Amino acid sequence: MLRLRVVCPADQTEAALEVLRGHAGATHLVLLRGAAVDPEGDLITADVAREAVDEVVGALCELRIDRHGGITIETIDTSLSDAADRAQENAPGDGSDAIVWDELIGKTGEESKPSVTFQAFLTISCLLAAVGIATNSTVTLVGAMVVGPEFGPLAAIAVGLVAKRWDLVRRAVAALAIGFPVAIVITSALTWLGARFDLLDRETLLHGTESEFIYQFGPFSLIVALLAGAAGMLSMTSAKSAALVGVFISVTTVPAAGYAALAAVLGVWDRVGPAVAQLGINLIGIVVAAALVLLIRKRGAAEGVSTRPLSRG
């Protein structure tokens, strides 16, 4: 179940209540007249089955409540109620298969913003990858994969393409286009310092068996990226966030960036290109697979329950 908190202009309250009362997936309806101060109006709350949220929010948006008031979607961890059970049973579809587009757009939009925090995480993950490659440490490489924040913008690009939210695509592309070069430059600078203090060994890079998968790209590189992108988007749309950790560990985006920086500093130029190619293959593969998953799920939702246009706002 998800909770809708609706700040509604007083002249639209009855229409909003009619929408919520008339949907089998909505329950626990509460009205507080005059409770909203800015924007001014009434406050309505309702618990809605996940599979019904997109349809209910669409109907409320047709009343332009999102323009003159506000709609907030909140997650309910536990709901002990026969009324909630009935709402979930009566709502069309399955909650685990439902996509709440506004929630997804909001989540990916927040994670795709170019920011100091995003850049810091990406740079730290690249540095961890460089250390893992320099020390031939698989554990450190896995840590770098988990720390890397790049899946957020990649998911945002996929969502933006399917939902035709080009602002989301532009912002996510900017985050990656700025983030990776900056992270690689900083990693190169710090590894150069490490090389000056004899902390890095060129022979380890040349003969490190634990990092060969990073620059040896091929068909399986694309296959893994496609599978990871599909799994990641399924995780995001079904609210099963635990699977995202496996997605982070399975792709070699950040390790490839760290490898390219380290190889350039140590003069192993024949491996810089393959590492960059590995990075590109993973980025493209993840976006393609994530977008395909969304398209398939969008078509399935359209065949079962009507949904509003995704280009709203």
Q: What is the pLDDT along the chain (313 residues), one digit of tens a residue?
A: 899 999 999 999 999 999 999 898 999 999 999 999 999 999 999 999 988 898 899 999 999 999 999 999 998 888 888 998 888 888 877 666 677 888 888 888 887 888 999 999 999 999 999 998 888 888 898 889 888 899 999 999 999 999 899 999 999 999 999 999 999 999 999 999 988 887 777 777 777 666 677 887 778 888 989 998 898 888 888 755 555 666 666 678 999 999 999 999 988 898 899 999 999 999 999 999 999 999 988 776 555 444 444 444 4
Q: Which of 231, 221, 245 is nearest to 293 (CA)?
A: 231
Residue in 211, 232, 231, 233 with CA at minimum distance from that of residue 278: 211
CB 60 within 8 A of CB 17: no
Rounded Cα–Cα distance for residues 229 and 232 (Å): 5
Q: Between β-strands 2-8 and 70-75, what pairing exists: parallel, antiparallel or unpaired? A: antiparallel
Q: pTM of the full predicted structure? A: 0.80
Q: How far apart, in whole angstroms, are the C-alpha atoms of residue 274 and residue 216?
A: 7
